[in-house]
A and B are shown apart, each in its own frame.
Chain A
Amino acid sequence: MDSLMYLLNGFSVAFAPMNIMWVTIGGILGTIIGMLPGLGPATGVAVLLPLTFTMGPEAALITMGGVYYGAMYGGSRASILINTPGDGAAVAATFDGYPMTLKGKAEAALAISAIASFIGGIFATLVMVAVAMPVARFALKFGPAEYFLLFLFALSATASMSKGDRVKGFLSMALGLMVATIGIDAQSGVKRFTFGILELQSGIDFLVIIIAVYALGEVFKSFQNIAEGKKKVQKEFGRIWISKEEWKRCVWPILRSSPLGFFIGALPGAGGTMAALMSYNNEKSLSKHPEEFGEGAIEGVAAPEAANNAASVGAMIPMLTLGIPGSGTTAVMMGALLMLGLQPGPMLFQQQSTVIWGLIASMFIGNIILAFVNIPMAGLLVRVLAVPPKILYPIVLGLAFVGTYAISYSVMDFYLLIIFGVVGYFLSKAKIPATPMILAIIVGNNMEQSFRRAYKISDGSLSIFWSSPLAIALIIITVLSVILPIIGDMRKKRAAGKGQTA
């Protein structure tokens, strides 16, 4: 019950007029960034983070939260109207959303995507209220050894679930952990991998790397697309709403996809993209008329939109309660928390309950505001899509630099920004996923520290890592998270091989 008390307290924070204003501004800015092709919530939060540097922790988190789900709403605008998803989670919205636009039903597609996003977001926030405290309390039982294993699980699950080559996912993870070891070692004072450069002694600020990979890297990738020319955007709309019949078709898909999305989002490594794709396939197989999917079926927009917004909230749970981000965007959100001097983890709910519950309460308010922004005002907002990316991308670059400067007031970070921007571009060219690297850079330090604390407690014996039932359980799920996808692949290959020979 105390969760409800805290939530009421949180609402008193979130309902402060200034905070309502911030969540609205954050939501609108996030929607705009989310609409830009290639730029998703991770870029949105990374680039807009400096806006919050001088705010109090509540206002800062509430604004960033607004940016986060605003970008989730916005991502599907571009998917529906110009067939260009803002990020992975919005890809599924192109399958049926764009065909709907081609058939002249853009209004219904825009409306249902906002409605589904709203229901998914509200549902997931309600579940979050229910489970956040129990999870945080459970996590208090974790010792350093369990924490180390938990980090290991989260990272290896992310690497192993990353699309494409699994080895490359782990490679990306290892690279991130290496970057995290740069700087003065907190426990012994030994300088590691600083190459005699003074600025590297305090380590590389992961926010710089996040901005580099998500803003610069994406802009580098976009040079090619820009040369390909731009698509025409529909600017005139009728009433953006849906008919009763359309609503009937969507109710169950939305209600089914919300819990699914939440659950997948809460797992480390899976995230919004997988949630959206799974719910899409799920609805297609349940549908009485699967042949309409891909041709402009409205459920095909509703289901993934509900799922990815629910996932975006679900992903906040491991980040807030355990200090383990499960996706690129939650990693950036965690960066925002750390920047504010808040260490995510079980203690956060005890020490900073006002801030955290203010954030959770503002998720309700933010979702309501964004539904308003995205339905009656959608026609106005999508005009941003008519501004050519040729002008918007240089602006994103400008924001990336000012954001980097505001982190440490040092031009030295500009060079890191450039280097990691190029690294990000190279990773995407080589089809190496960047997310495992980003997560590893963020948790790398804590991971090593918990390893060493456990190692010290056990007086130099590694047996502490399998001495508690919890530790053994964590080892088992880590091994499973690596092995199961491999077995799945082998089965698929075998099935494909049989199909060929037969």
Chain B
Amino acid sequence: MNISLLSGILALLIGLIYTVMTFLLPEASIGRPMEPKIFPMALGMLMIILSSILLVQETKKSRKSEQPAGKFTIDSNLKNIGLTCLFSILYAILFDKLGYVISTILFLEGELFLFNGAKKWKINSIVAVVFSLFIYILFSKLLGVYLPMTPGIWI
């Protein structure tokens, strides 16, 4: 599937859902009741029109040329992105519980494993620990930006 076509369909869906949702918005109890809806309604319509134009353009294009340009393929890239998202979600879950330093070390170990490979675990670990401690001391101790502490330890 052509990715432009796919994004056109997605945009059309977003536009339709958004427009339906605007109609379902509660009316304002003060001022003109319709007022909070006008701007979003115009936006929803705009989105529907634009995505329709894109769809027409793309179907014309794909008819002209047999091979659709920019084919959407699942590559190793997507696997790494998926894993990064997974690590990030775990990071979000552990962030408050383990404190900044520990959770960041774990997260960076994961990311460095993806980017740099497991073989270089020594460098990876040094980078992860130094970065986490450096940022923690810089932000929390020097700049006064609060970062969650690990329970029971001074950091």
- Measured CA separation A193–B9 after assembly (Å): 21
Q: Which of A54, A188, A395 is in CB contact (< 8 Å) with B36?
A: A188
Binds B, one of A93-101, A303-311, A428-436: A428-436
Q: Which of A193, A399, A418, A426 is in CB contact (< 8 Å) with B88?
A: A418
Tell me the minimal C-beta distance from A148 to chain B in angstroms: 10
Chain B residues whose C-beta falls within 8 Å of the C-beta of A188 in the assembled complex = 28-31, 35-36
Q: B-facing mask of A404-430, CB < 8 A → 1, else 0?
A: 011001010011011001100110011
A143 at the interface (CB under 8 A from B): no
Q: Which of A175, A224, A414, A431 is in CB contact (< 8 Å) with B91?
A: A414
Chain A residues whose C-beta falls within 8 Å of the C-beta of B43 in the assembled complex = 174, 177-178, 181
B13 at the interface (CB under 8 A from A): no
A491 at the interface (CB under 8 A from B): no
Tell me the minimal C-beta distance from A447 to chain B in angstroms: 8
- Measured CA separation A89–B122 after assembly (Å): 37
A220 at the interface (CB under 8 A from B): yes
B144 at the interface (CB under 8 A from A): yes
In the bound complex, do residue A390 and residue B115 qualify as a contact, i.e. CB atoms below 8 Å apart? yes
In the bound complex, do residue B127 and residue A418 qualify as a contact, i.e. CB atoms below 8 Å apart? no
- With known contacts A53-B143, A171-B47, A405-B95, A431–B89 Cβ distance under 8 A: no
- Measured CA separation A50–B127 after assembly (Å): 21
Tell me the minimal C-beta distance from B150 to chain A in angstroms: 15
- Measured CA separation A192–B28 after assembly (Å): 11
Majority-rule SS of A interface residues: helix
The residue in chain B whose Cβ has the minimal distance to the Cβ of A393 is B115
Chain A residues whose C-beta falls within 8 Å of the C-beta of B38 in the assembled complex = 451-452, 455
- With known contacts A53-B143, A54-B145, A190-B25, A397–B84 Cβ distance under 8 A: yes
Chain B residues whose C-beta falls within 8 Å of the C-beta of A401 in the assembled complex = 88, 91, 104, 107
Chain B residues whose C-beta falls within 8 Å of the C-beta of A190 in the assembled complex = 25-28, 36
A460 at the interface (CB under 8 A from B): yes
A376 at the interface (CB under 8 A from B): no
- Measured CA separation A455–B84 after assembly (Å): 46
B118 at the interface (CB under 8 A from A): no
Tell me the minimal C-beta distance from A181 to chain B in angstroms: 5
Chain A residues whose C-beta falls within 8 Å of the C-beta of B146 in the assembled complex = 409
- Measured CA separation A227–B14 after assembly (Å): 34
- Measured CA separation A460–B32 after assembly (Å): 9
Chain B residues whose C-beta falls within 8 Å of the C-beta of A455 in the assembled complex = 35, 38
- Measured CA separation A314–B40 after assembly (Å): 33
- Measured CA separation A41–B147 after assembly (Å): 26
A263 at the interface (CB under 8 A from B): no
Chain A residues whose C-beta falls within 8 Å of the C-beta of B96 in the assembled complex = 411
The residue in chain B whose Cβ has the minimal distance to the Cβ of A51 is B143
Chain A residues whose C-beta falls within 8 Å of the C-beta of B57 in the assembled complex = 165, 167
- Chain A interface, number of residues (Cβ within 8 angstroms): 62
Q: A-facing mask of B125-155, CB < 8 A → 1, else 0?
A: 0010001100100010001111100000000
- Measured CA separation A187–B34 after assembly (Å): 12
- With known contacts A188-B31, A192-B36, A394-B112, A171–B77 Cβ distance under 8 A: no
Q: Which of B4, B95, B131 is in CB contact (< 8 Å) with A431?
A: B4
Tell me the minimal C-beta distance from A19 to chain B in angstroms: 16
Chain B residues whose C-beta falls within 8 Å of the C-beta of A406 in the assembled complex = 139, 145
Chain A residues whose C-beta falls within 8 Å of the C-beta of B75 in the assembled complex = 224
Q: Which of A171, A389, A415, A421 is in CB contact (< 8 Å) with B11?
A: A171
In the bound complex, do residue B123 and residue A391 qualify as a contact, i.e. CB atoms below 8 Å apart? yes
| CB under 8 Å from chain A, chain B span 77-126 | 77, 80-81, 84-85, 88-89, 91-92, 95-96, 100, 104, 107-108, 111-112, 114-116, 123
The residue in chain A whose Cβ has the minimal distance to the Cβ of B44 is A178
The residue in chain A whose Cβ has the minimal distance to the Cβ of B72 is A429
- Measured CA separation A466–B100 after assembly (Å): 54
The residue in chain A whose Cβ has the minimal distance to the Cβ of B54 is A167
Tell me the minimal C-beta distance from B28 to chain A in angstroms: 3
Tell me the minimal C-beta distance from B107 to chain A in angstroms: 7
Tell me the minimal C-beta distance from A223 to chain B in angstroms: 5
- Measured CA separation A19–B48 after assembly (Å): 49
Tell me the minimal C-beta distance from A235 to chain B in angstroms: 19
The residue in chain A whose Cβ has the minimal distance to the Cβ of B80 is A223
In the bound complex, do residue B115 and residue A226 qualify as a contact, i.e. CB atoms below 8 Å apart? yes
- Measured CA separation A175–B7 after assembly (Å): 12
| CB under 8 Å from chain B, chain A span 161-184 | 165, 167-168, 170-171, 174-175, 177-178, 181
| CB under 8 Å from chain B, chain A span 188-205 | 188-193
Tell me the minimal C-beta distance from A80 to chain B in angstroms: 25
- Measured CA separation A390–B120 after assembly (Å): 11
The residue in chain B whose Cβ has the minimal distance to the Cβ of A176 is B43
In the bound complex, do residue A402 and residue B54 qualify as a contact, i.e. CB atoms below 8 Å apart? no
Q: Which of A54, A175, A432 is in CB contact (< 8 Å) with B143?
A: A54
Tell me the minimal C-beta distance from B56 to chain A in angstroms: 10
- Measured CA separation A223–B127 after assembly (Å): 19
- Measured CA separation A170–B45 after assembly (Å): 13
In the bound complex, do residue A397 and residue B30 qualify as a contact, i.e. CB atoms below 8 Å apart? no
The residue in chain A whose Cβ has the minimal distance to the Cβ of B76 is A227
| CB under 8 Å from chain B, chain A span 16-51 | 50-51
In the bound complex, do residue B108 and residue A398 qualify as a contact, i.e. CB atoms below 8 Å apart? yes
Chain A residues whose C-beta falls within 8 Å of the C-beta of B51 in the assembled complex = 171
- Measured CA separation A199–B141 after assembly (Å): 28
Chain B residues whose C-beta falls within 8 Å of the C-beta of A54 in the assembled complex = 143-145
- Measured CA separation A90–B109 after assembly (Å): 32
In the bound complex, do residue B107 and residue A174 qualify as a contact, i.e. CB atoms below 8 Å apart? no
**Sampled A-B contacts (22; CB under 8 Å):** A167-B54, A175-B14, A177-B43, A185-B36, A187-B28, A189-B30, A190-B28, A220-B84, A394-B111, A394-B127, A397-B108, A398-B108, A399-B135, A401-B104, A402-B104, A402-B139, A406-B139, A414-B95, A418-B85, A418-B92, A425-B81, A452-B39
Which 3 pairs between the two chains have the least Cβ-Cβ distance? A188-B28, A414-B92, A394-B111
